[in-house]
Amino acid sequence: MSLPWTIMAGFLYTDIAIVLLLLSPISSRFLQMLIIQLSYYFYIIVGLLIIAFLDATRETWKYSKVDEAEMLDIKMQNQLKMFRAQRNMYISGFAGFLCLVIRRLVALISKNAVLKQKIKSQ
């Protein structure tokens, strides 16, 4: 795997860890700090993930064209490139999806914490 896609896979693994962290009960101060710190970077990250997804989709489309007159080793190389393009498309797509899930989880947990504080204060 090339360096950009290794970084993308690392980002996917980080997204999974953050989702698992958000599903555990933690304090709302941490979430508020997380929202403030990451709100600016969220759109940049999503933009990069969309660009990576579109590039992988373009590569998948490019290698999906099969020419029957090609030699066997050329067909094997095209299939290898097709596999890599599909793998990269899945990695970037799932990373983007999990990024949106994280954003929604943080918003819901933050709203829940605010509602709990309102109920305690009344």
Q: Give the domain extent around 100.
A: 3-121
Residue 55's pLDDT is 92
Structure tokens at 23: 């599903």
Write down the pLDDT at residue 57: 92
Contacts 24+ apart (CB under 8 A), 81-84: 84/1, 84/59
pLDDT of residue 27: 60
pLDDT reported for residue 42? 80
The tally of domains found in the chain comes to 1
Q: Reduced to 3 states, what is the DSSP secondary structure of residue 65?
A: coil
On whether the pTM is more than 0.85, the answer is no
Q: Tell me if 21 sits within 8 A of 50, measured CB to CB.
A: no
Helix-strand-coil percent breakdown of the chain, rounded to 5? 90, 0, 10
Along the 122 residues of the chain, how does pLDDT read in single tens digits? 688 878 888 888 888 887 777 777 766 666 667 667 777 788 888 888 899 999 999 999 988 877 777 788 888 888 888 898 999 899 898 888 888 888 888 788 778 878 888 888 87
